[in-house]
Amino acid sequence: MSNSANVNQTLLLSRSEIEELLSVGEAVEAVEDAFRLTAEGKTAMPPKLYLDLPDYHGDFRAMPAYISGSAGIKWVSVYPNNQKRNLPTVLATILLCDPNTGCPLAVMDGTYITKIRTGAAGAVAAKYLAKKDSSVIGMVGAGAQARTQLMATAKVLPKIEEVKVYDKFREAGLKYAEEMGAELGINVHYVATIQEVTEADILVTTTPSTAPIVSSQLVRPGTHINAIGADAEGKQELESTLLKKAKVIVDDITQASHSGEVNVPLKQGAIKVEDIYGTLGEVVANIKQGRENDQEITIFDSTGLAVQDIICAKLVYEKAIKKGKARTFKLNL
């Protein structure tokens, strides 16, 4: 990795600085590259490691990767009770290193990168798997990730005219509709039932549910689903029978099998690993075909990949160097 800064200096980047340096559009392009490079065998990414702390009602995840001349690791925690403390549920820190020397190039906030790259992954999936004339999106869940999912998808599908949002907390859904409608300039409105929200071309689920929310009978032929919420063992948003009749595409088969939307159906025997069509990277790299007709149901199971974090962190680092935006310190001296 090219480094124009002093090798003895490590950059320190806060969330606010990263927000200025990394746009949604840039994240979508970077994540699309990450999917393609991974499918082409040009990355290295060991499995995500979990550190469960049930006594503290949370967990940590270590996510190392190498991509595009950059090596790094994200240390991310998930603490659902943080909302009561006025803190994000997901908190992350990224350490970016020079693979030539091992020198730490940057320590940066990973919370914003996690949020924006997850939204970008959903956008890439919609770009390759949704019907080209898709105009209606249904959002299940109105939290922080629902916002970046919609922001990113709107970048790749300019024909979106209507967004329906359902959340079990009505006030959250109404607030989301008002704020996202104003930000994107499109018709975003709250609906009161799951049935109403599934009447869409693209369905995005972003909840922490451990029981199916979306039943098979509600999903219309031709729907594309971005299943985002299931990111740990036991989580599930879609009815298992829905996966059986759909084309299921994952970000990483090993990771999805133990912590993605497919993890529960696999354990139940409702589907087999052989039923998983392939990875999104294979579709992006044109190794496998994506959507084949306007009637098939496609599902993207997103668990979040370390290569996505590191490629975005590299972009942030390079822009920070170019613009002189970061503080430096001597970490190893």
- Averaged pLDDT, 95-115: 96
Q: Looking at the structure, do residues 98 and 235 belong to the same domain, yes or no?
A: no
How confident is the model over 154-160, as a mean pLDDT? 93
How is the beta sheet containing 247-250 ordered, strand by strand? 187-190, 162-166, 136-140, 202-205, 224-227, 298-301, 247-250, 276-279
Closest CA to 199 of 210, 189, 185: 189
Check pLDDT > 60 for residue 6.
Answer: no
pLDDT reported for residue 231: 86
Q: Which amino acid is at 46?
A: P
* CATH number for position 249: 3.40.50.720
When pLDDT is averaged across residues 264-287 and rounded to a whole number, the result is: 97
247 with 276, same domain?
A: yes
pLDDT of residue 191: 98
User: What integer is the mean pLDDT of 120-149?
Assistant: 97
Distance of CA 326 to the CA centre of its chain: 26
Percent of the chain with pLDDT over 90: 90
Give 230-275 pLDDT, tens digit per residue.
Answer: 988 999 999 999 999 999 999 999 999 999 999 999 999 999 999 9
Q: CA angle 199-197-216, nearest 5°? A: 70
Do 285 and 150 belong together in one domain?
Answer: yes
The answer, yes or no, to whether residue 203 has pLDDT greater than 50, is yes
Number of domains within the chain = 2
> Which residue numbers are catalytic?
74
- Strands, E, within 228-318: which ranges? 247-250, 276-279, 298-301
**pLDDT score for 82:** 94
Q: Are residues 39 and 97 in the same domain?
A: yes
Does 321 lie in the same domain as 285? no
Tell me the mean pLDDT in the region 322-332.
81
DSSP-derived pairing of the beta strands 224-227 and 327-329: unpaired
Structural domain boundaries enclosing 84: 10-114+307-329
Percent of the chain with pLDDT over 70: 97
Give yes or no: residues 141 and 285 share one domain: yes
91 and 128 both lie in a single domain: no
Please write the tens of the pLDDT for every residue from 30-56. Answer: 999 999 999 999 999 998 899 999 999
Instruction: Identify the three-state secondary structure at position 295.
Output: coil
Spatial separation of the C-alpha atoms in residues 252 and 74, rounded to whole Å? 17
Instruction: Note whether 148 and 267 are same-domain residues.
Output: yes
pLDDT of 4 reads: 45
Question: Which pLDDT value is given to residue 3?
Answer: 44
Answer whether residue 207 shows pLDDT above 90. yes
Q: What is the mean pLDDT of residues 158-187?
A: 96
Q: Does 297 lie in the same domain as 148? A: yes
Q: How high is the pLDDT of residue 236?
A: 96
Checking if the pLDDT of 63 tops 50, the result is yes
pLDDT bin (cut points 50, 70, 90) of residue 183 is very high
User: DSSP label at 44?
Assistant: B
